[in-house]
Every structure is written in C-alpha cells, then in structure tokens.
Structure 1
Amino acid sequence: MSLPQLLIVLKGRWLSVMLVLTVVVACVVSVSLLLPRKYTATAAVVLDVKSPDPIAGMVLPGMTVSGYMATQVDVLQSERVALRAIDALQLDRKGGLRERWQLETEGKGDFRTWLAEVVLSRLEAKPARDSNVIAVAYTAQDPAFAATMVNALVSAYIDTSIDLRVEPAKQYTSFFDERAKQLRESLEQAQAKLSAYQKQNGIIATDERLDVENSRLAELSTQLVALQAVAEESRTRQGQTGANSDRMQEVLSSPLISGMTAELSRQEARLNEIQSRLGEQHPDVLQLRASIEQMRARIASETRRVTGSVTVNNNVNQTRVAQLRASLEEQRAKVLRLRGQRDEAAVLLRDVENAQRTYDAIFARVNQTSLESQNTQTNVSVLKRATPPVSPSSPKLTLNAAVAVVLGLLLGLGTAFVRELMDKRLRSDEDVMLGLKQPLLGVLPVRPRASILGHSRARLVKSRILGALPRPAK
C-alpha cells in the first residue's frame, strides 16, 4: 500500500481512529484520576573512600574496590537497616499493620520481617554514576511519612555501617585480649626462668666475667708458651751435663770454677817445673801433686754442683710447665663453662625478647581494636535530608495522557487498517483497475455537496454507470 492509498484509507476511516483514540485517552485519564496519589521523598548520602581511616592511619583497601558502592547499596536495602528504621519510628506498634499482615499471610511467618519487606518494597537506592553519592527515595501516600521514613532509613543505614565496623572490632578485641593474657603469662615465665638461671650461675646483666676469664686464659697461654721454651732450653742443658759438663755455659761462667781452674793450671805448670828439677819422689813434688788432685776434686765437685743446679732448674721448669698447663686447662674449662652459661642465658634472653615482641605486637592490636570497637565515626555523610514533597510522583497525569495519545493513535491506526482489510472498498482509480481488473472508462468530477438532493442524484448516477459495467470473470 502506497502513501497516497494510506492517506485515503485514513481519510475514510478517521472516525474509527478518533473513536479509539478518545476511548484510550479517556480510560487512561480516568484511571490516573482514580488512582491514589503517591509521593516520593528523596535523600542523598555521600561516601568518603579517599580519606585515611583515623585509627588505622591509611586508606582501607576495601573502600577502593569497584564493588564497594554496590555493597553499600545492598546494605542500605538490607532487612537489618529496615528493622532499625522500623524500631526508630515504632511502626510495628501502629494499629492496622498487624491486621493487614494477618489478612495477607494468614499469620504465617514473622510480622517484623513482613513489615521490613513492605518497607523495602517502597525503597529505592541508586548510586550516582562516576561518583560516591547514593540517592535514596521512598514512596508513600503521605508526603510527610515518606520524608520521615527515608530520613529514618538513612539514619539507620549510617548506624548500621558503624555497627558493621564496630562488631568485628569487638570480636577481635576479645580475641586479642585473651591472647595478650596468655602471652603475658608466657613472658613472665620466660623472665622468671632467665632470672633464676642468672641467679643460679651468678650472671648479671652487665657480666664481665667472661671477658676477664678470656684475658686470663690468653695470659696463661702466653706464659705457657714462654715457659715451655725455657723448660726446653733447661732440658737441653741438662742433657749436656753428662759428657760435656765442663763446657756448659753455667760452668764456664762460674767465677769459682774459673778461679780454681786457673789455680789448677798454675799448680800444674809449677809441678812440671819442680818435677823436672827435683824428680818424681821429692816431697814438694808429691805435696804439689796432692794439692793438684785436691784442686781437681774441688773443681769436679763444684762442676757437679753447678750442673746439679741445672737439673734442679730443669725440674722446676718442667714442674712449672705442668702446673701452668693444668691451670690453662682448668681456665679453658672454666671459660667454656662460662660460655655455655652465657649461651644458655642468651637463649633464655632471646626467648624473653621474642615473648616481649610478640606481646607488644598483640598489645598494640588490642589497643587498636579497642579503639575501633569504640568508634562512633563513619565515612558516610548525609548530603541531603528528605523534606515532604509538594507534588505527587504518581500518577503522572501529563505523562500518562501523552502515552495514552500515542497508544490511542497506534490502536486507532491498527483498528482502521483491520476494518479496511475486512471491508475492502474502492477509494481511488487504482483500486478500480486493480480490484475489478477492468479498464477505467472515465472519472466523474467531484462536486461540492450543495444539498441532500444533489448528493442523492450523484450517487444514483454513479451506481447506474458502475452497474452497467460487465462483471469480472470469477
């Protein structure tokens, strides 16, 4: 169907279109006027997700995730918030609501839960795009009640957000407090054990005994090395006392032996002189010879005495080496014992320090969670409080009438086309040729409708002409 034909059809069926349009508009307007008026009160809250937490001292990571705003909307629309608002306004004590609950649910379920669902069904919370603002709207027949209800819901949401942060902190405080008591007992036990060990072994906080004993051990080691060298030298000299005793340094350096040796040399020289002059048996020769033998005996005795002192000195040195070695071993054992005590004391001290660090960390967490459990601040602020709306939010008469007009026109056009399909008529030259499949002989001019008689004659002439035409073959 072309546009001219469509216009011709609408021109012929305009009464149907107008009738349907009028009926639809009248029905919509009537229903809009009969429906009870509802008022929507709106409020707005803003969430601060960038400022650091006053207790933690940093921006909490959960506030920066993409689902944080959606989570807050779900919290705002939760049953807990609704029940808190109901308690604040004491809606569960108002008459009529319990009878309505009995009528709708036949007394099944919980009345407060049902009332919370009713409240939430009229609540709408929607976060603004690309911002941290949540718009809260509540619809009711009474504008004042709608404003009061949405403000109560916002207040309940703020209190609930505080509770959601405080309740875990209270649980953590109880847990950390109990843990802190256990760690304090462990710290006291570790300190008591360390104190008892220090008292038992004479270890004090500024104990310098180990340093003193180490110095003494080093000194004894030095003395032992020096004395071992002296003892080795004395042992060597003692070994020379047998075959080469007259060549020993002690013998050679003795003034008495040197004097007696010189005197023996003089007497031997005199003996040779007298013996060559007086003979072997002369009394002077015999006396001088006896004196020489006596001198030699004295030299030998003095030599034995000197070499004997070397032996005594060597024995003394060996004894001193043995004693010093024993003292060194005793000192080494003492140092090792002190080191073991200090090591064990260091282990006990590390246990105390570890217990102290753990207790300090837990105690810090106790203080932090205790502060968090007493926190009354929140990152939610009221941006706009609701006021009673002046105009109703529904029904919207102008919008409904506009929609009714559009819908009535569509239904009217549809009705016109349906009637045209069910009752086909010849409205143009093309309809004659296409519908009758006959050539068009002529077209009568359209005359204005001057009177009813003229109109009747034109219709009579038209019917005669058309009736004289041959019928199309079937």
Structure 2
Amino acid sequence: MNAQTSLPAAGVARSATAREFLAVVFRRKWIIIGLFVVASVTVLSVAFTTRTSYQSFGEVLIKRGEQESLLQPNRRMSGWEEELASEIEVVRSAPVQMRAQQLLDQQASEGLPRIDLGSGSVGAEVKGESNVILIGYVHSDPKIAERACNAVVTAYVEHRLKTLNLAYPKEFFDAEVKKVTEDLDRYETLRRNFARGSDAYAIEDQTRNLVSSLLSMRQRRTEIDADLRSARSNLEQIEKFASQPDLDSPTMGQGANEQVLVDLKLRVLGQETRLAQLRERYREDSPEIVNGVATLETLRGFLQREVQSRVEVSRGQVRSVESRLKPLDDEIARVETSLASMPSKEMTLSEIDREVGVLKDRYRDLVNRSDQARITEQTTPMINVLVLHPPGPARPTNARDYVRLALAPAFSLLVGIGLAFFADGLDPRVRTPGDLESTLQLPVLASVTERRRRRGTGSHSARQAVAS
C-alpha cells in the first residue's frame, strides 16, 4: 500500500480537490446523464413536432381624426393612444374579417386555392410612436399567409375609406330635390286650378273692384228705387183720378200730354158750367140742354179714355222700373256673395302660397348645401389611410435555431451537476477524506488506497483513513 501524509492544522476547512469533484460526478453520473437525456429528448421532440409558422405583414399609415360633416372640413381629434388602439380593434373586427373572407372567396372563384381566414391568426400593432399600423397574418403555409394578409389589409383600407370618408351624398340630394320639386309642382298646380276655378286672381284688387262696383250699384238702386216710388205714386194718383173724376187732375209732370189732360178737364168743367146756365133758362128736353148733355158726355168720355191711357202708361212705367230693379238686385247679391267668399279664398291662397314659399326655401337650401358639399369634397383631402408597404413574402416566425437548441442540453448538464452535488451532500456515508474530516473534526494524517483485485466476480476500491 502507498501512504500519503499531510499535516493540516486542526480546525482548518479542507478544500475539495478535482479528484473529489470528479468522484462525485462519476458517483452521480446517472442523475446528470438522465437529466441531459430528458432535456435533449424534450427539446428535440418539441423542435421537430412544432410546425413552422410563417408571418406576412403590411404597413398602413392612417390619418388621425374623423370628419364630422361634409359641409365642414373640420376633423374631430382624440388621443393618440385611444385612436390607434381603436384602429387595432377595427383591424380585428368582424366586418373587416368578413370582407377579407369575401375577397379570398372571390380569388377562389377565379381559380386560386380557397383559404379559410380562421385557419390562421390576424394580428396588428403600432409601429413605435407613429401613426403606422403593422397588420400581420400567421399561418403554416407562407403563400396562404401572404394572400390572407393582403386580403386583411385590403379589407381594412376599404372599411376605413367607406366608413370615415364622407363622399358626396348624390343619392340623398337627388332624392330630396326630386321630392321638393314634385311637392312644389303639386302646390303650384293646386293654386293655379283653385285660382282658375274660383276666379281668385289678385284678391286685393278684385276686392277693391267689387266694393267699388257694389257701391255704384247700390247708388243706382237707390236712384231706381226713387224712380219706382215716383212711378207708383203717379200710378196711384191716376188710378184715384180714374175712379173719382171729380177730383182735380193729378200732377204728373210737365209736358204736352199733361196739358192735354188739363185742357180736357177744363173743357169738361166749362161744359158743366154752361150746362148749368142753360138749365136755368131752358127745360130739360130742350135742344140746347140735350146737346149740352151730349157734349158733356163726349168730353167726359174723352177724359176717361185719356185717364185710362195714362193709367196704362203709368203701369208700364212701374213695370219698367221694376224690371230694371230686379237684375240690379241680382247683381248686387252676386257681388255681395263674391265679397263674402273673398276672405276664404284669400286664406286658402295664403296657405298655398306659404307652402310654396317653404318649398322654395327648402329647394334653395338643398341646392346651396349640395354645392357646399361638392366644394368641400373637392377641396378637402380625403386620404384617410395609405398603404406604405403591401404584404410581402411570409417569413418564418418559429424557425429552428440550432444554437438555442444546443443550449438547452448544455444547460441541463449544469443543472444535472448541481443536482448531483446536492444529492451527494444529502448522502450521510463517508466516502472521502474531506467527509471524514467534516465528520470527526480532525485532520487526516494519511490515507491507504487498496489496489484493485482482479480476482473473483468483481472489483472495488476502498480507502482507509487513520485519524489522530
């Protein structure tokens, strides 16, 4: 046996040697090897079972703010984080996804392979602190990832242009102008037909004319009524004279006819006077008396016929005046009826004119707003989104990195060695001089190593230590 001596000071800790380190490693080699194998197998299984994913992405620059009205070029602005976070959610929203799927279906109808957008994942993020959004799509097939990302970017751009760009609402203005024009034509036709049917033209002038005509006709009626009363008075006098010849002859005015009646009355009176004088001198049967009586009767007949003719003339005058009065009364009644209907006609025309005025103002307002919207559309930039970089070829996102794969087993060796020393530290058996010194708190003076024997079924080595 070989002897080794050392005289370390009592109570001084003994440092482990490389030989002891290797001894621990070889004693716990199965822990290190097992951990290394498990880590290697796990890494290799994960690496070779995980399919490679490819990502294609495009860059889109958005214009912040939202135009509130096409009639005003102003835009409503929010916070940068709020707007961009909202835009990211819009990229992932259902309308954009549905539109992207429609674009992919259209490509499939043109002969390209059909792609289900749900087979991959859509992602979006802000590039730094800019207004640029990165829109990506991840799939195991690089061609599918590129096509799907292109469809998502196109759908997002279309959605933003459609929802945020306020294009000129031609259909709205055309429909409103057409409706107002039809209503205006309808009211103008109604007014024209009403005015034509009710003769309601220039109501104020027509009212003044009717009032003037009514006053004139009432004046004429007063005059005719006076003539009628005069004619009836003459008729009463003539009729009274006709029934009582002894009365004085009626005064019917001046003229030759009036003088004839007066002469006849005077001659009758003169003949009656003469006959009375003859009766004083002659008998009733005398020729003078008989001739005088015959003359008196003749004169009275003439007077009676003249009076009767005058009665007929007076009656004719009364009928003539009455015939003049009736049309005038009818005309007065017609004018009064027309005047009575003027307020209702004026009110109806005023209501129609008011509606026509409102429609004309509405038409002018629509035309002005339409022109303003066209001016705003032509003078306000409408670019709300700009594709900076269209989706390019897809790149692998989880490619096998052999350096990193090799680091896992190497790290497992370090962990295994640490576990080996930890397990060896938990073992209470004494295997090395250091273990003995730690146990007895005495220095080792010498150690004897037993050589390996090649006899029997096995071989082993043992150490003896002598402590003082």
Q: TM-score, normalised by structure 1?
A: 0.46
| Bigger Rg, structure 1 or 2 | 2
More helix by share: 1
Q: TM-score, normalised by structure 2?
A: 0.46
